[in-house]
Chains A and B, each alone.
Chain A
Amino acid sequence: MKKAEVLSILEHNAKLSNQEIADMAGISADEVEKIIREANEEKLILGYKATINWNKLNQQYVFAYIEAKITPQKDVGFDAIAESICKFEETIDVCLMSGAMDLLILVKGKSIRDIADFVTQKLSTVDGVTSTASHFMLKYYKDDGIIVSQRENNLRQSLVL
Protein backbone atom coordinates (compact mmCIF):
# COMPACT_ATOMS: atom_id res chain seq x y z
CA MET A 1 0.00 0.00 0.00
CA LYS A 2 2.79 2.39 -0.90
CA LYS A 3 0.29 4.38 -2.91
CA ALA A 4 -1.97 4.97 0.09
CA GLU A 5 1.06 5.85 2.20
CA VAL A 6 2.34 8.40 -0.33
CA LEU A 7 -1.11 9.97 -0.73
CA SER A 8 -1.64 10.11 2.99
CA ILE A 9 1.70 11.88 3.49
CA LEU A 10 0.83 14.30 0.71
CA GLU A 11 -2.62 14.96 2.12
CA HIS A 12 -1.07 16.22 5.34
CA ASN A 13 1.54 18.35 3.64
CA ALA A 14 1.37 19.11 -0.05
CA LYS A 15 4.62 21.06 -0.03
CA LEU A 16 6.89 18.07 0.44
CA SER A 17 9.32 17.27 -2.34
CA ASN A 18 9.29 13.85 -3.94
CA GLN A 19 12.57 13.09 -2.20
CA GLU A 20 11.12 14.00 1.19
CA ILE A 21 8.06 11.86 0.61
CA ALA A 22 10.33 9.06 -0.57
CA ASP A 23 12.34 9.25 2.66
CA MET A 24 9.21 9.21 4.77
CA ALA A 25 7.63 6.30 2.91
CA GLY A 26 10.87 4.35 2.60
CA ILE A 27 10.79 4.15 -1.22
CA SER A 28 12.68 5.87 -4.05
CA ALA A 29 11.95 9.35 -5.35
CA ASP A 30 11.25 7.84 -8.77
CA GLU A 31 8.55 5.64 -7.33
CA VAL A 32 7.00 8.64 -5.62
CA GLU A 33 7.04 10.56 -8.87
CA LYS A 34 5.27 7.73 -10.62
CA ILE A 35 2.64 7.29 -7.91
CA ILE A 36 1.84 11.00 -7.87
CA ARG A 37 1.72 11.27 -11.65
CA GLU A 38 -0.69 8.34 -11.82
CA ALA A 39 -2.77 9.69 -8.98
CA ASN A 40 -3.09 12.98 -10.83
CA GLU A 41 -4.10 11.19 -14.00
CA GLU A 42 -6.62 9.04 -12.18
CA LYS A 43 -8.00 12.16 -10.48
CA LEU A 44 -7.21 10.68 -7.09
CA ILE A 45 -5.59 14.00 -6.28
CA LEU A 46 -8.10 16.76 -6.87
CA GLY A 47 -6.05 19.76 -5.85
CA TYR A 48 -3.45 21.25 -3.54
CA LYS A 49 -4.33 24.03 -1.11
CA ALA A 50 -3.17 25.80 2.03
CA THR A 51 -5.11 25.87 5.29
CA ILE A 52 -5.47 29.56 6.13
CA ASN A 53 -6.43 30.99 9.48
CA TRP A 54 -8.54 33.82 8.07
CA ASN A 55 -9.45 35.04 11.53
CA LYS A 56 -5.96 36.45 11.85
CA LEU A 57 -6.16 38.55 8.73
CA ASN A 58 -7.98 41.87 8.70
CA GLN A 59 -9.71 40.95 5.54
CA GLN A 60 -11.97 38.32 7.01
CA TYR A 61 -14.28 36.01 5.23
CA VAL A 62 -17.67 34.81 6.30
CA PHE A 63 -18.48 31.15 5.98
CA ALA A 64 -21.88 29.47 6.16
CA TYR A 65 -23.26 26.00 5.85
CA ILE A 66 -26.48 26.01 3.91
CA GLU A 67 -28.91 23.16 4.00
CA ALA A 68 -31.01 22.80 0.90
CA LYS A 69 -33.98 20.62 0.15
CA ILE A 70 -34.43 19.76 -3.46
CA THR A 71 -36.92 17.93 -5.60
CA PRO A 72 -35.10 15.35 -7.66
CA GLN A 73 -35.49 15.75 -11.37
CA LYS A 74 -36.61 13.03 -13.68
CA ASP A 75 -33.82 10.73 -14.95
CA VAL A 76 -30.92 12.71 -13.48
CA GLY A 77 -31.99 12.68 -9.80
CA PHE A 78 -30.12 15.03 -7.52
CA ASP A 79 -27.00 15.17 -9.63
CA ALA A 80 -28.04 17.79 -12.15
CA ILE A 81 -29.22 20.23 -9.48
CA ALA A 82 -26.15 19.65 -7.32
CA GLU A 83 -23.86 20.16 -10.27
CA SER A 84 -25.47 23.42 -11.25
CA ILE A 85 -25.09 24.63 -7.65
CA CYS A 86 -21.41 23.68 -7.78
CA LYS A 87 -20.93 26.19 -10.59
CA PHE A 88 -21.54 29.15 -8.26
CA GLU A 89 -18.14 30.45 -7.27
CA GLU A 90 -19.32 31.11 -3.69
CA THR A 91 -19.61 27.38 -3.02
CA ILE A 92 -16.69 25.49 -1.49
CA ASP A 93 -18.24 22.11 -0.68
CA VAL A 94 -21.44 20.62 -2.03
CA CYS A 95 -22.51 17.26 -0.59
CA LEU A 96 -25.53 15.03 -0.89
CA MET A 97 -26.60 14.10 2.64
CA SER A 98 -28.65 11.44 4.35
CA GLY A 99 -31.30 12.66 6.77
CA ALA A 100 -33.70 15.59 6.77
CA MET A 101 -31.95 17.79 4.21
CA ASP A 102 -30.71 16.85 0.77
CA LEU A 103 -27.67 19.00 0.09
CA LEU A 104 -25.19 20.58 2.46
CA ILE A 105 -23.37 23.49 0.88
CA LEU A 106 -20.38 25.33 2.33
CA VAL A 107 -20.15 28.88 1.04
CA LYS A 108 -17.63 31.66 1.50
CA GLY A 109 -18.29 35.39 1.15
CA LYS A 110 -16.77 38.70 2.13
CA SER A 111 -19.76 39.63 4.28
CA ILE A 112 -23.02 38.28 5.63
CA ARG A 113 -24.69 40.34 2.94
CA ASP A 114 -22.73 38.52 0.27
CA ILE A 115 -23.98 35.19 1.48
CA ALA A 116 -27.54 36.43 1.94
CA ASP A 117 -27.49 37.60 -1.66
CA PHE A 118 -26.16 34.27 -2.79
CA VAL A 119 -28.96 32.42 -1.04
CA THR A 120 -31.82 34.67 -2.08
CA GLN A 121 -30.71 35.58 -5.57
CA LYS A 122 -28.83 32.53 -6.73
CA LEU A 123 -29.42 29.37 -4.74
CA SER A 124 -33.14 29.63 -4.13
CA THR A 125 -33.79 30.44 -7.76
CA VAL A 126 -32.24 27.20 -8.98
CA ASP A 127 -34.92 24.91 -10.39
CA GLY A 128 -35.67 22.12 -7.98
CA VAL A 129 -34.45 23.86 -4.82
CA THR A 130 -37.49 23.94 -2.57
CA SER A 131 -36.12 25.37 0.69
CA THR A 132 -32.91 26.48 2.35
CA ALA A 133 -31.59 27.04 5.89
CA SER A 134 -28.40 29.02 6.46
CA HIS A 135 -26.00 28.52 9.36
CA PHE A 136 -23.27 31.11 9.71
CA MET A 137 -19.99 30.01 11.20
CA LEU A 138 -18.98 32.05 14.21
CA LYS A 139 -15.62 30.63 15.13
CA TYR A 140 -13.32 27.92 13.89
CA TYR A 141 -12.01 25.57 16.55
CA LYS A 142 -10.64 22.91 14.28
CA ASP A 143 -9.94 23.39 10.62
CA ASP A 144 -9.02 20.58 8.27
CA GLY A 145 -7.76 18.43 11.13
CA ILE A 146 -5.82 21.27 12.74
CA ILE A 147 -6.90 22.61 16.12
CA VAL A 148 -6.64 26.34 15.57
CA SER A 149 -5.70 27.43 19.08
CA GLN A 150 -2.96 24.84 19.30
CA ARG A 151 -1.48 26.06 16.04
CA GLU A 152 -1.48 29.64 17.26
CA ASN A 153 -0.09 29.15 20.73
CA ASN A 154 3.16 27.64 21.72
CA LEU A 155 2.25 26.01 24.99
CA ARG A 156 5.68 24.63 25.74
CA GLN A 157 7.50 26.07 28.69
CA SER A 158 11.20 25.89 29.03
CA LEU A 159 12.62 22.99 30.93
CA VAL A 160 15.75 20.96 31.01
CA LEU A 161 15.29 17.80 28.97
Chain B
Amino acid sequence: MTDSYISDRAKELKPSGIRKFFDLVANTSGVISLGIGEPDYVTPWKICGSAINSIQQGYTMYTSNAGMPELRQAVCDDLNRRFGLQYKSENCMITVGASEALDMAARAILNPTDEVIVPEPCYVAYPAVVELAGAKVVSVPTYEKNNFELHAEDIESKITSKTKAILFGYPCNPTGAIMSRERLLEIAELAKKHDLIVMADEIYERLTYGTEHVCFASLPGMQERTILLGGFSKAYAMTGWRIGYALAPKDILDAMLKIHQHVIMCASTASQCAALTALKECQDASKAMIDDYNRRRQLIVGGLRRIGFSVFEPKGAFYCFPNITSTGLSSEEFAEQLLKQEKVAVIPGTAFGDSGEGYVRCCYATAIDDIREALTRIQRFVESLKK
Protein backbone atom coordinates (compact mmCIF):
# COMPACT_ATOMS: atom_id res chain seq x y z
CA MET B 1 0.00 0.00 0.00
CA THR B 2 2.54 2.58 1.15
CA ASP B 3 4.73 1.08 -1.52
CA SER B 4 3.21 3.54 -3.93
CA TYR B 5 5.00 6.35 -2.13
CA ILE B 6 8.39 4.84 -2.76
CA SER B 7 10.31 6.07 -5.77
CA ASP B 8 11.11 3.68 -8.58
CA ARG B 9 14.76 4.37 -8.06
CA ALA B 10 14.63 3.38 -4.40
CA LYS B 11 12.60 0.29 -5.26
CA GLU B 12 15.03 -0.77 -7.95
CA LEU B 13 18.00 -0.49 -5.67
CA LYS B 14 18.90 -4.01 -4.63
CA PRO B 15 19.02 -4.53 -0.88
CA SER B 16 22.53 -5.37 0.20
CA GLY B 17 23.07 -9.12 0.01
CA ILE B 18 24.70 -8.85 3.36
CA ARG B 19 21.77 -7.43 5.22
CA LYS B 20 19.89 -10.61 6.02
CA PHE B 21 23.15 -12.01 7.18
CA PHE B 22 23.81 -9.29 9.68
CA ASP B 23 20.28 -9.66 10.99
CA LEU B 24 21.05 -13.30 11.68
CA VAL B 25 24.32 -12.39 13.39
CA ALA B 26 22.71 -9.71 15.52
CA ASN B 27 20.22 -12.22 16.85
CA THR B 28 22.67 -14.97 17.79
CA SER B 29 24.88 -14.75 20.85
CA GLY B 30 28.46 -15.95 21.02
CA VAL B 31 29.10 -15.22 17.36
CA ILE B 32 32.64 -14.51 16.22
CA SER B 33 32.30 -12.06 13.41
CA LEU B 34 34.72 -11.95 10.54
CA GLY B 35 31.97 -10.06 8.80
CA ILE B 36 32.21 -6.35 9.33
CA GLY B 37 34.89 -4.56 7.34
CA GLU B 38 36.00 -2.28 10.11
CA PRO B 39 39.16 -1.95 12.18
CA ASP B 40 38.77 -3.41 15.67
CA TYR B 41 40.94 -0.64 17.04
CA VAL B 42 39.60 2.51 18.56
CA THR B 43 40.92 5.72 17.01
CA PRO B 44 44.42 6.64 18.26
CA TRP B 45 44.05 8.90 21.27
CA LYS B 46 45.95 11.83 19.81
CA ILE B 47 43.35 12.09 17.06
CA CYS B 48 40.46 11.96 19.53
CA GLY B 49 42.18 14.55 21.71
CA SER B 50 42.57 16.99 18.85
CA ALA B 51 38.83 16.79 18.11
CA ILE B 52 37.95 17.40 21.75
CA ASN B 53 40.37 20.28 21.82
CA SER B 54 38.86 21.80 18.69
CA ILE B 55 35.42 21.76 20.25
CA GLN B 56 36.76 23.36 23.43
CA GLN B 57 38.35 26.07 21.33
CA GLY B 58 35.06 26.82 19.67
CA TYR B 59 35.44 25.11 16.31
CA THR B 60 31.77 24.24 16.32
CA MET B 61 30.63 25.96 13.14
CA TYR B 62 30.47 24.92 9.51
CA THR B 63 33.73 24.95 7.60
CA SER B 64 34.08 26.01 3.97
CA ASN B 65 32.02 23.74 1.77
CA ALA B 66 35.09 22.07 0.34
CA GLY B 67 36.55 21.60 3.80
CA MET B 68 39.13 23.35 5.98
CA PRO B 69 41.85 24.86 3.78
CA GLU B 70 44.63 23.39 5.96
CA LEU B 71 43.16 19.91 5.66
CA ARG B 72 42.70 20.11 1.89
CA GLN B 73 46.28 21.29 1.56
CA ALA B 74 47.50 18.55 3.90
CA VAL B 75 45.68 15.88 1.89
CA CYS B 76 47.24 17.20 -1.34
CA ASP B 77 50.71 17.47 0.22
CA ASP B 78 50.54 13.94 1.58
CA LEU B 79 49.46 12.41 -1.74
CA ASN B 80 51.81 14.56 -3.81
CA ARG B 81 54.74 13.60 -1.64
CA ARG B 82 54.07 9.87 -1.58
CA PHE B 83 52.97 9.39 -5.16
CA GLY B 84 54.58 12.23 -7.10
CA LEU B 85 51.24 13.87 -7.92
CA GLN B 86 50.59 17.54 -8.62
CA TYR B 87 47.37 18.23 -6.78
CA LYS B 88 46.49 21.70 -5.56
CA SER B 89 43.87 22.56 -2.95
CA GLU B 90 41.44 23.45 -5.72
CA ASN B 91 41.52 19.77 -6.77
CA CYS B 92 40.51 18.51 -3.34
CA MET B 93 37.30 18.37 -1.35
CA ILE B 94 36.68 16.90 2.10
CA THR B 95 33.70 14.56 2.25
CA VAL B 96 31.61 12.53 4.68
CA GLY B 97 33.74 9.43 4.20
CA ALA B 98 34.86 7.93 0.93
CA SER B 99 31.19 6.91 0.69
CA GLU B 100 30.08 10.45 0.00
CA ALA B 101 33.03 11.05 -2.32
CA LEU B 102 31.95 8.05 -4.35
CA ASP B 103 28.38 9.28 -4.62
CA MET B 104 29.41 12.82 -5.55
CA ALA B 105 31.76 11.49 -8.22
CA ALA B 106 29.05 9.34 -9.77
CA ARG B 107 26.45 12.10 -9.69
CA ALA B 108 28.84 14.68 -11.11
CA ILE B 109 29.86 12.75 -14.20
CA LEU B 110 27.10 10.30 -15.09
CA ASN B 111 24.16 10.77 -17.42
CA PRO B 112 21.28 8.29 -17.66
CA THR B 113 22.53 6.68 -20.85
CA ASP B 114 26.09 6.27 -19.61
CA GLU B 115 27.71 2.95 -18.84
CA VAL B 116 30.27 2.38 -16.13
CA ILE B 117 32.65 -0.57 -16.09
CA VAL B 118 32.83 -2.07 -12.61
CA PRO B 119 35.09 -5.04 -11.90
CA GLU B 120 33.65 -7.72 -9.66
CA PRO B 121 33.67 -8.97 -6.95
CA CYS B 122 33.55 -5.43 -5.58
CA TYR B 123 32.49 -3.23 -2.71
CA VAL B 124 28.69 -3.31 -2.47
CA ALA B 125 28.24 0.44 -2.88
CA TYR B 126 29.82 0.66 -6.35
CA PRO B 127 26.89 -0.65 -8.39
CA ALA B 128 24.48 1.19 -6.10
CA VAL B 129 25.96 4.66 -6.58
CA VAL B 130 26.15 4.18 -10.33
CA GLU B 131 22.52 3.11 -10.49
CA LEU B 132 21.38 5.90 -8.19
CA ALA B 133 23.01 8.32 -10.61
CA GLY B 134 20.80 6.75 -13.25
CA ALA B 135 23.60 5.13 -15.23
CA LYS B 136 24.18 1.49 -16.10
CA VAL B 137 26.65 -0.86 -14.46
CA VAL B 138 28.63 -3.12 -16.76
CA SER B 139 30.33 -5.69 -14.58
CA VAL B 140 33.59 -7.32 -15.48
CA PRO B 141 34.50 -10.39 -13.46
CA THR B 142 37.99 -10.81 -12.06
CA TYR B 143 39.47 -14.22 -11.34
CA GLU B 144 41.51 -15.94 -8.68
CA LYS B 145 43.80 -17.34 -11.40
CA ASN B 146 44.62 -13.72 -12.33
CA ASN B 147 45.13 -12.74 -8.68
CA PHE B 148 41.80 -10.93 -8.91
CA GLU B 149 43.54 -8.26 -10.95
CA LEU B 150 41.63 -6.38 -13.57
CA HIS B 151 42.84 -7.23 -17.06
CA ALA B 152 42.55 -4.66 -19.80
CA GLU B 153 41.44 -7.24 -22.36
CA ASP B 154 38.50 -8.23 -20.15
CA ILE B 155 37.38 -4.62 -20.06
CA GLU B 156 37.97 -3.79 -23.68
CA SER B 157 35.35 -6.23 -24.95
CA LYS B 158 32.77 -4.48 -22.74
CA ILE B 159 33.51 -0.95 -23.89
CA THR B 160 30.82 0.65 -26.06
CA SER B 161 30.21 4.15 -27.32
CA LYS B 162 28.23 4.72 -24.10
CA THR B 163 31.04 3.80 -21.73
CA LYS B 164 31.87 6.84 -19.64
CA ALA B 165 33.97 5.58 -16.79
CA ILE B 166 35.67 2.73 -14.99
CA LEU B 167 35.10 2.41 -11.26
CA PHE B 168 37.44 0.26 -9.20
CA GLY B 169 38.98 -0.01 -5.79
CA TYR B 170 42.43 -1.46 -5.11
CA PRO B 171 43.49 -2.72 -2.62
CA CYS B 172 40.22 -4.53 -3.07
CA ASN B 173 37.32 -5.12 -0.77
CA PRO B 174 36.45 -8.09 -0.74
CA THR B 175 39.38 -9.94 -2.34
CA GLY B 176 42.39 -8.19 -0.78
CA ALA B 177 43.90 -7.99 -4.27
CA ILE B 178 46.16 -5.17 -5.36
CA MET B 179 46.99 -4.08 -8.90
CA SER B 180 50.50 -4.14 -10.31
CA ARG B 181 51.85 -1.10 -12.11
CA GLU B 182 51.88 -3.04 -15.41
CA ARG B 183 48.19 -3.90 -15.18
CA LEU B 184 47.29 -0.36 -14.21
CA LEU B 185 49.30 1.00 -17.14
CA GLU B 186 47.19 -1.15 -19.46
CA ILE B 187 44.04 0.31 -17.98
CA ALA B 188 45.52 3.78 -18.38
CA GLU B 189 46.09 3.07 -22.08
CA LEU B 190 42.47 2.00 -22.44
CA ALA B 191 41.25 5.09 -20.63
CA LYS B 192 43.21 7.27 -23.05
CA LYS B 193 42.15 5.32 -26.12
CA HIS B 194 38.44 5.41 -25.27
CA ASP B 195 38.45 8.74 -23.46
CA LEU B 196 37.23 7.34 -20.13
CA ILE B 197 37.19 8.73 -16.61
CA VAL B 198 38.61 6.47 -13.92
CA MET B 199 37.05 6.55 -10.47
CA ALA B 200 39.75 5.06 -8.27
CA ASP B 201 38.65 4.23 -4.74
CA GLU B 202 41.97 4.04 -2.93
CA ILE B 203 40.67 4.06 0.62
CA TYR B 204 42.87 1.06 1.52
CA GLU B 205 46.02 2.47 -0.10
CA ARG B 206 48.03 2.56 3.14
CA LEU B 207 47.09 -1.02 3.92
CA THR B 208 49.42 -2.99 1.70
CA TYR B 209 51.71 -5.79 2.84
CA GLY B 210 55.14 -6.24 1.36
CA THR B 211 54.40 -4.14 -1.71
CA GLU B 212 53.93 -0.47 -2.43
CA HIS B 213 50.59 0.83 -3.55
CA VAL B 214 50.51 2.30 -7.04
CA CYS B 215 48.24 5.33 -7.18
CA PHE B 216 46.33 5.29 -10.44
CA ALA B 217 46.43 9.07 -10.81
CA SER B 218 50.24 8.96 -10.65
CA LEU B 219 50.49 7.12 -13.99
CA PRO B 220 51.49 9.28 -16.97
CA GLY B 221 48.60 11.50 -18.05
CA MET B 222 46.15 9.99 -15.59
CA GLN B 223 45.79 12.78 -13.05
CA GLU B 224 43.70 14.48 -15.74
CA ARG B 225 41.31 11.52 -16.00
CA THR B 226 41.12 10.27 -12.45
CA ILE B 227 38.72 10.93 -9.65
CA LEU B 228 40.74 9.76 -6.68
CA LEU B 229 38.70 8.78 -3.63
CA GLY B 230 40.07 8.12 -0.20
CA GLY B 231 39.52 8.55 3.47
CA PHE B 232 40.58 8.11 7.04
CA SER B 233 38.29 5.25 8.12
CA LYS B 234 40.61 2.36 7.51
CA ALA B 235 44.19 3.54 8.00
CA TYR B 236 43.47 5.51 11.17
CA ALA B 237 40.60 3.42 12.57
CA MET B 238 38.22 6.36 12.13
CA THR B 239 35.12 4.73 10.65
CA GLY B 240 32.72 6.50 12.99
CA TRP B 241 34.12 9.95 12.25
CA ARG B 242 32.79 9.87 8.71
CA ILE B 243 35.60 11.69 7.00
CA GLY B 244 37.17 11.24 3.59
CA TYR B 245 38.12 13.11 0.46
CA ALA B 246 37.98 13.30 -3.31
CA LEU B 247 40.56 14.69 -5.72
CA ALA B 248 39.82 15.41 -9.33
CA PRO B 249 40.57 17.76 -12.22
CA LYS B 250 39.17 21.16 -11.30
CA ASP B 251 36.11 21.16 -13.55
CA ILE B 252 34.98 17.76 -12.28
CA LEU B 253 35.72 18.70 -8.69
CA ASP B 254 33.70 21.90 -9.07
CA ALA B 255 30.72 19.89 -10.29
CA MET B 256 31.01 17.52 -7.35
CA LEU B 257 31.34 20.45 -5.00
CA LYS B 258 28.15 22.01 -6.36
CA ILE B 259 26.18 18.90 -5.41
CA HIS B 260 27.99 18.57 -2.09
CA GLN B 261 27.13 22.20 -1.20
CA HIS B 262 23.46 21.42 -1.46
CA VAL B 263 23.18 17.99 0.03
CA ILE B 264 25.95 17.96 2.64
CA MET B 265 27.16 21.57 3.13
CA CYS B 266 30.42 20.43 4.67
CA ALA B 267 31.92 17.51 6.53
CA SER B 268 31.82 17.56 10.33
CA THR B 269 34.18 20.22 11.69
CA ALA B 270 35.48 18.19 14.63
CA SER B 271 36.16 15.28 12.30
CA GLN B 272 38.11 17.54 9.97
CA CYS B 273 40.29 18.72 12.86
CA ALA B 274 40.83 15.09 13.83
CA ALA B 275 41.73 14.13 10.27
CA LEU B 276 44.35 16.89 10.10
CA THR B 277 45.99 15.51 13.23
CA ALA B 278 45.82 11.99 11.79
CA LEU B 279 47.71 13.06 8.67
CA LYS B 280 50.25 15.25 10.39
CA GLU B 281 50.98 13.44 13.62
CA CYS B 282 49.76 9.87 13.57
CA GLN B 283 51.74 8.02 10.93
CA ASP B 284 53.43 5.89 13.58
CA ALA B 285 50.17 4.87 15.20
CA SER B 286 48.74 4.01 11.81
CA LYS B 287 51.79 2.01 10.87
CA ALA B 288 51.63 0.04 14.13
CA MET B 289 48.04 -0.97 13.36
CA ILE B 290 48.93 -1.93 9.81
CA ASP B 291 51.88 -4.04 11.03
CA ASP B 292 49.46 -5.80 13.31
CA TYR B 293 46.96 -6.42 10.50
CA ASN B 294 49.82 -8.01 8.60
CA ARG B 295 50.39 -10.52 11.39
CA ARG B 296 46.71 -11.35 11.51
CA ARG B 297 46.63 -11.63 7.73
CA GLN B 298 49.37 -14.22 7.78
CA LEU B 299 47.73 -16.02 10.69
CA ILE B 300 44.36 -16.36 8.95
CA VAL B 301 45.76 -17.21 5.52
CA GLY B 302 48.07 -19.85 7.03
CA GLY B 303 45.28 -21.25 9.18
CA LEU B 304 42.75 -21.47 6.34
CA ARG B 305 45.28 -23.11 4.05
CA ARG B 306 46.08 -25.68 6.70
CA ILE B 307 42.38 -26.48 6.97
CA GLY B 308 42.60 -27.27 3.29
CA PHE B 309 41.19 -24.24 1.49
CA SER B 310 42.84 -22.73 -1.51
CA VAL B 311 43.46 -19.17 -0.38
CA PHE B 312 44.55 -16.41 -2.72
CA GLU B 313 47.18 -14.35 -0.92
CA PRO B 314 45.69 -10.96 -0.15
CA LYS B 315 48.30 -8.19 -0.40
CA GLY B 316 46.13 -5.30 0.74
CA ALA B 317 43.09 -4.10 2.73
CA PHE B 318 42.09 -6.41 5.62
CA TYR B 319 40.15 -9.16 3.94
CA CYS B 320 40.92 -12.63 2.79
CA PHE B 321 38.80 -14.42 0.25
CA PRO B 322 39.18 -18.20 0.55
CA ASN B 323 37.90 -20.47 -2.17
CA ILE B 324 35.32 -22.75 -0.55
CA THR B 325 34.26 -24.79 -3.57
CA SER B 326 36.04 -27.87 -2.17
CA THR B 327 33.27 -28.12 0.44
CA GLY B 328 30.65 -28.65 -2.25
CA LEU B 329 28.60 -25.81 -0.78
CA SER B 330 27.64 -22.56 -2.42
CA SER B 331 28.95 -19.38 -0.79
CA GLU B 332 25.61 -18.66 0.79
CA GLU B 333 25.15 -22.20 2.05
CA PHE B 334 28.66 -22.17 3.47
CA ALA B 335 28.19 -18.86 5.26
CA GLU B 336 24.75 -19.73 6.58
CA GLN B 337 25.64 -23.22 7.80
CA LEU B 338 28.88 -22.03 9.35
CA LEU B 339 26.98 -19.36 11.22
CA LYS B 340 24.28 -21.73 12.44
CA GLN B 341 26.55 -24.64 13.26
CA GLU B 342 29.64 -22.93 14.62
CA LYS B 343 28.62 -19.30 15.13
CA VAL B 344 31.26 -17.82 12.89
CA ALA B 345 30.11 -15.04 10.59
CA VAL B 346 31.73 -14.66 7.18
CA ILE B 347 30.19 -12.96 4.16
CA PRO B 348 29.21 -14.99 1.11
CA GLY B 349 31.23 -13.89 -1.90
CA THR B 350 28.04 -13.45 -3.91
CA ALA B 351 27.23 -10.36 -1.84
CA PHE B 352 29.97 -8.69 -3.92
CA GLY B 353 28.69 -9.81 -7.29
CA ASP B 354 27.93 -13.08 -9.06
CA SER B 355 31.60 -13.73 -9.68
CA GLY B 356 32.06 -14.02 -5.91
CA GLU B 357 30.36 -17.44 -6.01
CA GLY B 358 32.66 -20.05 -4.54
CA TYR B 359 34.28 -17.65 -2.09
CA VAL B 360 33.59 -16.09 1.28
CA ARG B 361 35.00 -12.89 2.67
CA CYS B 362 36.73 -12.98 6.05
CA CYS B 363 37.74 -9.69 7.62
CA TYR B 364 40.86 -10.14 9.72
CA ALA B 365 40.72 -6.75 11.45
CA THR B 366 39.63 -8.85 14.41
CA ALA B 367 41.31 -9.77 17.70
CA ILE B 368 43.93 -12.51 17.32
CA ASP B 369 42.18 -14.79 19.78
CA ASP B 370 38.94 -14.42 17.85
CA ILE B 371 40.70 -15.31 14.61
CA ARG B 372 42.20 -18.38 16.29
CA GLU B 373 38.87 -19.49 17.70
CA ALA B 374 37.18 -18.86 14.34
CA LEU B 375 39.79 -21.04 12.62
CA THR B 376 39.20 -23.84 15.13
CA ARG B 377 35.47 -23.64 14.52
CA ILE B 378 35.83 -23.48 10.75
CA GLN B 379 38.02 -26.57 10.85
CA ARG B 380 35.38 -28.40 12.93
CA PHE B 381 32.73 -27.27 10.46
CA VAL B 382 34.67 -28.50 7.46
CA GLU B 383 35.28 -31.85 9.14
CA SER B 384 31.59 -32.22 9.90
CA LEU B 385 30.87 -31.80 6.19
CA LYS B 386 33.08 -34.76 5.34
CA LYS B 387 31.04 -37.15 7.49
Residues on A facing B (Cβ under 8 Å)? 9, 12-13, 15-16, 19-20, 22-26, 147, 150, 156, 158-161
B372 touches A150 (CB 8 A): no
The answer to the question of B119 belonging to the interface, with a C-beta cut-off of 8 Å to chain A, is: no
Q: Which residue of B lies closest to A22 (CB)?
A: B302
Indicate if B124 sits at the interface (CB-CB under 8 A).
Answer: yes
> Roughly how many angstroms separate A110 CA and B368 CA in the complex, as a whole number?
33
Check B264 for interface membership: any CB of A closer than 8 A: no
Does the CB pair B22–A158 fall under 8 Å? yes
Residue of B nearest to A5 (CB): B295
10 closest residue pairs by CB, A with B = A23-B302, A24-B295, A158-B26, A160-B16, A24-B299, A23-B298, A23-B299, A160-B19, A24-B298, A160-B18
- Residue contact A20 to B25, C-beta cutoff 8 Å: no
A142: shortest Cβ distance to chain B, in Å? 11
* Contact of A156 with B295 in the complex, beta carbons under 8 Å: no
Q: How far is the CB of B49 from chain A (nearest CB, A)?
A: 15
Q: Out of B18, B38, B295, B302, which one reaches A9, CB within 8 Å?
A: B295
- Does B37 belong to the interface (CB within 8 Å)? yes
Give the dominant DSSP class at B's interface: helix
Question: Contact flags (1/0) for B359-374 with A, using CB distance below 8 Å?
Answer: 0000000001100100
Contact flag A150-B42 (CB < 8 Å), given A12-B368, A13-B369: yes
With a cutoff of 8 Å between Cβ atoms, the chain B residues found around residue A16 in the complex are 368, 372
- Contact pick for A20, options B18, B42, B372, CB 8 Å: B372
Expressed in whole angstroms, the Cα–Cα distance for A9 and B298 within the complex equals: 13
Interface string of B286-309 (1 = CB under 8 A from A): 000000000110110111001000
Chain B positions within 8 Å of A23 at CB level = 298-299, 301-303
Nearest CB on A from B298, distance (A): 5
CA distance A20 to B299 in the complex (A): 6
Contact of A161 among B25, B36, B299, B301 (CB under 8 A): B36
Nearest-Cβ distance from residue A138 to partner chain B, whole angstroms: 22
How close is A5's CB to chain B, nearest CB, in angstroms? 9
Bound state CA distance, A16 and B38, in angstroms?
24
Within the complex, the shortest CB–CB distance from B45 to chain A, in Å, comes to 10
Least Cβ distance of A161 to chain B in Å? 6
Q: Which A residues are CB-close (under 8 A) to B36?
A: 156, 159, 161
Closest to B33 in A: A156
Give Cα distance in the complex from A26 to B294, angstroms: 10
Q: Note all chain B residues with C-beta closer than 8 A to A13.
A: 368-369
Interface string of B121-161 (1 = CB under 8 A from A): 00111000000000000000000000000000000000000
Q: Which residues of A contact B26 (CB under 8 A)?
A: 158
Q: Are B37 and A161 in contact (CB under 8 A)?
A: yes
Contact between chains at B296 and A24 (CB < 8 Å)? yes
Q: Flag if B369 contacts A161 (CB, 8 Å).
A: no
